[in-house]
Structure 1
Amino acid sequence: MVNIGIYVNPTKPHAREVASELVSLLQQYGCAPVLEKRSAEFLAREDLALPLEQFYPQVNLVFVLGGDGTLLSVARALAPYPIPILGINLGHLGFLSEAEPHNLAESVQQILARKYIVEERMMLETQLFRQGQLVRSFHALNDVGIAKGSFSRMVTNKVLVNGTFLGKYSGDGVLISSPTGSTAYSLSAGGPIISPNVEVLLFTPIAPHTLTARPIVLAPNDVVEIEVLSDHEDLGLTVDGQLGVQLQQRDRILVRKSPYTTLLIKWRENTFFEVVREKLQGQMRELEDGNGK
């Protein structure tokens, strides 16, 4: 019997109806649905509840119902475990999701027929050192940012790569992204789009106060070190734009490739540029006439 985990973002429109339909479909096809504990409470199905951290090894794969933010949080929680994730888009963009609520039955059928591939996405590991002591560590699928808060005060960070001084960056902050994260915050800050099957680190200055500061693509085994030079308190470390820690002057942040990866379920290979065209550029699938017009 296939055990399929379900994680639901209850704040999304129609989350209850879609999740209930998914549970019924899985049971009809002879699967054993397992609901993350809070999702089970939301659906009043405590009989199917299991904490997310206990999904492995009982769960074969996980359906995540929500937007990209929901999938990011689940990816971090499941990072140490080899559990593939299928995103079902209940959000706005759904760049990381592969399925939509209107084709839920078809999605279940494809999963059970094993008509899918699993993409292995590189993650980031970051460590925060304060007065020489490690105080926090995180894993991220998209990005790690060191940036100012709501007040309009410039921040300055000293950046090194593999111990070699790269420069001092003044502006709104700096961002280190994975290839998956290149289509998130980094993109709006002027960074390039990187295909997710390429393993690199992307360093992007955020609103730099100089014309010469540009994004830099780094090798996957490089280690980026950021030292906080600003002395005001309106500065923080963010992880995937969801977790945050207030920073202090002389804090050091190390960012490198994580030993973990995120396993994303996709229906077929080479869909990345279709997603870029349709979702980021806001274009519908075009009729093929040989010229792409």
Structure 2
Amino acid sequence: MSQSPSPGHSRFETIGLIWKNSDPEVLQSLHEVVEVLRGYSIRLLAAEQHDLFSAGEVSTLPEMARQADLIIPVGGDGTFIQTARHLSAFSGKLIGVNQGHLGFLADIQPDSIEATLNPVIQGQYLEEERFLLEAKVIRNGKTLFECKALNDVVVHKWSHIRMLQLETYVNGVFVHHYRSDGQIVSTPTGSTAYALSAGGPILYPTMDAMVLVPICPHRLSHRAITISSDSKIDIKVCGKTPVNARVTCDGQDDFELCKNDIVKIRKSPHTLTILHPEGHDHFHLLRDKLGWG
């Protein structure tokens, strides 16, 4: 199935593979990816044991991040995001195989793995740099929780219907005090995710900006605000009644909040490089995924 190019034809020396092991369709795509990569003089690293890999090819995520020139997550956007968050400190390169629903981040489709992956391995690709967010929860002057997010950091209500009362500050300047179901702080990458469903704008992926999007605000005049990505955002949990709130990063890591907790959100110093096949068109992607005419 895969071609056998001349030695040195591959642009990458070491490639890491991460996948969702419980999905048969993902495993089928993984098999096809490995078959393509075996046609090159490439060292493979696997995130877990599988019959496709020798014992010497199984690696921990930190080892993979340090050694791999490229990492390929096989799964949906959730698998891609989880990989990105864990590996962002190493400034790695990623290209994903989509086995999810929308697939805004994973460019390689299951029915075109060989046709899409071969040119990329040979150096025919586009690079796009994305930034991440870092969030921490401060309570009584102490940091209790920290996380990274490629898409968004969300302060939201939890198990009760009662609205939250939040105060937002940008660069130390008071923005507003309002009642709502929560607030989303999104990167351009995340602007087509939860932020979009909450009424936020779509940001071009390479924009140096982020957006604050209220979730079901009580006052209809509260709208999304786009700010510089270098802004420092503080969200304070207020109110007289018992607080029923959490902060969640990319829908994967969360932490329970108390009254007077402050969620500090900053642009991470680490970036992520996403590879796209040549000819990638973001507006075509939007038309396709969002059903535009």
1:214-238 superposed Cα distances (whole Å, 9 cap, x missing partner): 0000112211110011443531000
The amino acid across from 1:243 in the alignment is D
Report whether the alignment pairs 1:181 with 2:196.
no
1:55 to 2:64 alignment: yes
- Aligned twin of 2:127: 118
Instruction: Give distance in 2, aligned partners of 1:236 and 1:20.
Output: 39
Identity %: 33
Q: Equivalent of 1:147, from 153, 156, 166?
A: 156
Check conservation: 2:108, 2:117, Cα contact below 8 A.
no
CA shift for structure 1 position 198: 0.8
Match of 2:271 among 261, 271, 275: 261
* CA distance in 1 between partners of 2:22 and 2:292 (Å): 25
Alignment match, 1:11 = 22
Residue 95 (1) aligns with residue 109 (2) = no
Q: Residues of 2 paired with 1:44 and 1:269: CA distance?
A: 32
Displacement of 1:47: 3.9
C-alpha contact (below 8 Å) 1:158/1:167 kept by paired residues: yes
Q: Partner of 1:286 in structure 2?
A: none
**Deviation readout 1:232-286 (Å, 9 max, x if unpaired):** 3531000011111111111001112111111111113661111111012266xxx
Residue 285 of structure 2 is aligned with which of 261, 275, 282? 275
Alignment of 1:164-203 (within 5 A): 164-203=173-212
In the alignment, the residues of structure 2 paired with residue 80 and residue 42 of structure 1 have an alpha-carbon distance, to the nearest angstrom, of 30
Q: Secondary structure at the match of 2:38?
A: helix
Which residue identity lines up with residue 96 of structure 1 in the other structure?
L
Q: Structure 2: how far apart are the matches of 1:99 and 1:274?
A: 15
**Alpha-carbon distance in 2 for matches of 1:270, 1:27:** 26
TM-score (norm 2): 0.91
Measured in 2, the distance between the counterparts of 1:269 and 1:197 equals: 17
Instruction: State the Cα distance separating 1:136 from its structure 2 match.
Output: 1.8
Q: Which residue of structure 2 aligns with residue 163 of structure 1? A: 172
> Which deviations, in whole Å up to 9, do the C-alpha atoms of 1:24-66 show, x marking residues without a partner?
22112232221013xx248675442001111133211011100
Residue aligning to 1:2: 13
1:33 to 30, 44, 49: 44
Per-residue deviation at 1:83? 1.4
Q: Secondary structure at the match of 2:96?
A: strand
1:54 and 1:30 mapped to 2: Cα distance? 20
TM-score, normalised to structure 1's length?
0.91
Instruction: State the alpha-carbon separation in 2 of the partners of residues 201 and 46 from structure 1.
Output: 43
Q: In the alignment, is residue 208 of structure 1 matched against residue 231 of structure 2?
A: no
Change (3 A) 1:15 1:252: same
Unaligned 5+ segments in structure 2 are: 1-11
Structure 2 letter corresponding to 1:21: E
1:44 to 1:282, Cα distance in 2 relative to 1, 3 A? farther
Greater Cα offset, 107-116 or 204-213: 107-116
CA RMSD between the two structures: 1.7
Q: Which runs of 4+ in 1 moved over 4 A?
A: 41-45
Change in 2 beyond 3 A, CA 1:81/1:13: same
Deviations 1:153-176 (A, max 9, x none): 111111111111111121110110
Alignment-derived partner of residue 242 in structure 1: 252
Residue 165 of structure 1 aligns to a residue whose secondary structure is strand
Contact residue 116 and residue 277 of structure 2 kept, 8 A: no
- How many residue pairs get matched? 281
